[in-house]
């Protein structure tokens, strides 16, 4: 069930350049059903106060009713979000996430770019808990933007790339995947559209799921702000309700 709730802000801190980790608590967490779902956040004083900001759920703990979000604060709404204390107006959980049940094969590769990295953390934790081997390829702009390397390392191997070469492998996630000859039975990816397109091409022999980022209005399927072109008879799907996670091959780039 989707809730609109004032969640308690437990902590908020900058963990990399412009990147904030926000821990929230409330009964909304009971409703989360899979990794890769997102919430829609209303900030108090953004320039466009009508529009919420969609942010992925990076991890959650149902026993403590807590969830962690990681976001980049560089626009009006997210800069305001980084100042917020006390409680926060949150709608969610929204969308369909990464399927982790009944995954065939032993090894999953999780590929994230920038602010596409956060939802892969819970996905990796849940795959690992189901006995899968998890490999991570995480791409960032520069060394200052890298976050959660140690957290992912606790789950499985991590390959970091930076666009400027200041840390890890210079280049894109697909460069590292090719250079280190990464083999897997399934992939999960989240990041900018060109990255998703390249990942689908590189891992064309295995099944996979990708999480699509799109500008949103309502977040609940009513306004059509988030439609994207898909292969198949429907032609278009809504990222907020049909996604944000889609099976490989469904999106038209
Ligand atoms: P502004 O420039 O003030 O935004 C103006 C408007 O444009 C707002 O309505 C805003 O929502 C929209 N917008 C701007 N950039 C984007 C974008 N890249 N994607 C979607 N809408 C955008 N970011 C994170 O940092 N961490 C996450 O975990 C994360 N998860 C996301 C999950 C989903 C399903 C989607 C669709 C987006 C996600 N994003 C995430 C992107 C995030 O929503 C935008 O970066 C954020 O809304 C930008 O708001 P702003 O106030 O910083 O910028
Ligand atoms: Fe309104 Fe998707 S954001 S339909």
pLDDT of residue 147: 98
| Same domain flag for 90 and 9 | yes
**% of the chain with per-residue pLDDT over 90:** 92
| Average pLDDT over every residue of 125-145 | 98
For residues 236 and 224, what is the distance between their CA atoms, to the nearest angstrom? Answer: 10
Tell me what pLDDT residue 102 has: 85
Same domain for 80 and 152, yes or no, is: no
Domain C-terminal end among 72, 94, 116: 94
Give residue 236's pLDDT band: very low, low, confident or very high (50, 70, 90). very high
Residues with CB under 6 A from ligand 1: 38, 51, 53-56, 70-72, 74-78, 115, 118, 213-216, 244
Ligand nearest to the CA of 51: 1
What distance in angstroms lies between residue 242's CA and the mean position of ligand 2's atoms? 10
Does one domain contain both 154 and 132?
yes
Q: What total of structural domains would you count in the chain?
A: 3
Residues with CB under 6 A from ligand 2: 216-219, 221-226, 238, 240
CB atoms within 10 A of CB 3: 16
Closest-lying ligand 2 atom to the alpha carbon of residue 238: 2
Ligand 1 atom with the shortest distance to the CA of 80: 51
ipTM: 0.96
Which pLDDT does position 20 carry in this prediction? 98
Domain that holds residue 32: 3-94
**Residue 49, pLDDT above cutoff 80:** no
Q: Which of 12-16, 53-57, 224-228, 229-233 is predicted with the least confidence, judged by mean pLDDT?
A: 229-233
| 80, 145: one domain | no
Please check whether residue 100 lies inside any domain of the structure.
no
**Ligand 1 atom with minimal separation from the 94 CA:** 34
Q: Based on the fold, state whether residues 46 and 124 are members of the same structural domain.
A: no
């Amino acid at each position: 069930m989707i809730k609109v709730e004032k969640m308690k802000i437990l902590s908020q801190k900058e963990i990399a350049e412009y990147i904030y980790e926000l821990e929230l608590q409330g009964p909304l967490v009971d409703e989360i059903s899979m990794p890769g779902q997102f919430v829609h956040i209303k900030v108090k004083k953004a320039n466009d106060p009508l529009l919420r900001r969609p942010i992925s759920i990076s991890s959650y703990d149902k026993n403590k009713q807590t969830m962690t979000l990681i976001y980049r604060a560089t626009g009006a709404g997210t800069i305001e979000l980084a100042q917020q204390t006390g409680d926060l107006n949150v709608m969610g959980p929204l969308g369909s996430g990464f399927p982790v049940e009944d995954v065939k094969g032993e090894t999953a590769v999780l590929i994230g770019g920038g602010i596409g990295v956060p939802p892969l953390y819970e996905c990796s934790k849940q795959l690992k808990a189901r006995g899968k081997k998890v490999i991570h390829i995480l791409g960032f702009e520069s060394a200052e933007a890298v976050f959660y390397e140690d957290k992912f390392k606790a789950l499985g191997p991590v390959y970091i790339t930076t666009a400027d070469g200041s840390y890890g492998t210079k280049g894109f996630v697909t460069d590292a995947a090719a250079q280190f000859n990464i083999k897997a039975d399934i992939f999960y990816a989240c990041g900018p559209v060109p990255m998703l397109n390249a990942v689908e091409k590189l891992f064309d022999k295995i099944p996979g799921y990708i999480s699509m980022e799109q500008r949103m209005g309502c977040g609940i399927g009513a306004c059509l702000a988030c439609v994207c072109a898909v292969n198949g008879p429907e032609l278009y799907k809504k990222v907020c309700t049909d996604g944000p996670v889609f099976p490989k091959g469904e999106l038209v780039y």
